Structure formats: C-alpha cells, structure tokens
Amino acid sequence: METTIQKLRAVCIDDEPKAVKNLTQLIAAYVPQLKICASAHSVEEGLALIDIHNPDVVFLDVEMNDETGFDLLEKADEITFKTIFVTAHDEYALKAFKYSAFDYLLKPIDIDELITTINKIAREQPLIRSEIENEKLESLKQNKSKLTQIVLSTSEKAVIVKLKEIERFESAGNYTLAKLVDGREVVVSKNIKHFEDLLPYDTFCRIHRAHLINLTHLKEYHRGVGGEVEMASGKIIPVSRRKKKALIDSILH
C-alpha cells in the first residue's frame, strides 16, 4: 500500500502578485512536500489567512506598502509557524533573525536555497509539533489551580476582579479590553495571549485571534465555517475556523 506523505502547509504574504506567482510556481515544480494554501497582499489579510489555515510555514515579504512583515509578527498573538522572509533587501537580514525568522531568502529566489530551507523545516517539524503539544499539556495541568480573581493593571490603577465578573477579553493591538458583566470595560496594557496563558483553560476559551471568552457567560454557539457565539449580554462574537474544535471540546467537556 502506498503511503501518503502529509504536506507542509504554507501561506505567502507579499504585496507584489508577480512575486507570489513566482514563488508558488517554484514550490509546485521543485518542493513537493510543501503546499501554498493561500496568499495575501497586506498585513491584515495575512493575519486573517494565518488564522484560517494555521500554516506550518509563512513566506513573508518585508516591505508591503506602508507596513512591513515585522508589523505582522508584532500583531500576531501567537506564532506557531516558521517564518521565512523573502525580500530583495538584504539589509533586513539581521533584523529578520532578531524576530526569530527560520530563514531569509533574497529575490530572485535561488531554487537550491529554497529546497534546502524547506527540507530543514520538514526534518524538524515532527519534533517541533511534539514539543508544542507537550508544552500545551503541561500548561493545561498548571492552569488547574484554584484561581478566583486577577488584577487588571491600567495606566492609572490596579483593578481587582473575580473571574466570574469577566465576560470576555478583546484584543486591541498591544492592549486588551477586559469586558465585565456589569458593563464596565478595563483597558489593560498586556496582549490577549497573556490572559489566555494565565486563566483556567476549563473556564476561558480563545475562540478567535481577537477574542477570549468566559464560558460561564456563553449563551449559544451558532454553527458555520467557524461559526459565532452569543454571550449572555447579547454580544455576538465570531469563531475562527482553527479555534472551532477547541471551543466545541470545551463546551462538551
């Protein structure tokens, strides 16, 4: 029986359609273990596609109109993919590696360099996936502590709130909006990933790149590609496709 090899999934983010087409053609012709799932031409488009496809690899241009690939990495709440910068500007190489880039390819892309880079990722990927899952499992075990309240630090004060008083958290760039059940909103100078890691996983569920909800205040889940949830307050919040399974598992358990 012939064994099917699972391909690595990739997203290409570049504001030049010609560059995207060229990279896609090179990969199709020379890198059979990799598949381009989607391409984007801006930071916001790229973040949305990463959220949808959960890629193993992201090919990322540096200069994109008024933004850069570094802006995308700054805005991403969680980086579970290997970043390969693809650019015509070699002066960005040092900065790219400061952002933990896996590799850096110069345009026009050298086929041998591309093949070598993807082969390295293919060899490492099973180990990386295993390590990530083990880290998550350990984190889940630690989060079973009896945490009942947290401190929300703002620029002016520290607000102590009980977990049951929090309906949800919403990402706002480098800040997070803590939405309380009494209608108050607290602006905290930490990103949403901080709260995802801090709070008990059996009570709080990350359903979207920008949303972390308290399951205690979940009223309904509406099915769809990702779907959406309705909170007790009446607020409707989208569920990303890659977070759908985690939400359903949380609801069922």
Asked whether residue 156 falls in the same domain as residue 128, the answer is: no
Which CATH number fits the domain that encloses residue 51? 3.40.50.2300
Considering only residues 226 and 131, tell me which one the structure prediction assigns the higher pLDDT.
226
Task: Output the pLDDT for position 95.
Answer: 74
Q: What is the mean pLDDT of residues 199-203?
A: 86
Q: Is residue 3 part of a domain?
A: no
Considering only residues 78 and 107, tell me which one the structure prediction assigns the higher pLDDT.
107
Residue 218 binned pLDDT confidence (cut-offs 50, 70, 90) = very high
d(CA 169, CA 188): 10
Asked whether residue 42 falls in the same domain as residue 131, the answer is: yes
Token duo for residue 134:
């083990």
8-state DSSP, 88: S
Asked if 201 contacts 143 with a C-beta cutoff of 8 angstroms, the reply is yes
Angle, to 10 degrees, between the axis of helix 17-30 and the axis of helix 111-142? 90
Q: What is the mean pLDDT of residues 201-210?
A: 90
Asked whether residue 106 falls in the same domain as residue 158, the answer is: no
Asked if 195 contacts 168 with a C-beta cutoff of 8 angstroms, the reply is no
* For residue 173, pLDDT beyond 80: no
**Other CB atoms within 10 Å distance of the CB of residue 58:** 27
d(CA 236, CA 173): 20
Q: What is the mean pLDDT of residues 134-150?
A: 57
Overall domain count for the chain: 2
Q: Which domain holds residue 179?
A: 149-252
Gyration radius from the chain CA atoms:
20
Task: Output the pLDDT for position 43.
Answer: 92
Q: Is the pTM of this model over 0.75?
A: no
| Residue % of the chain over a pLDDT of 70 | 87
Asked whether residue 229 falls in the same domain as residue 165, the answer is: yes
Which CATH number fits the domain that encloses residue 159? 2.40.50.1020
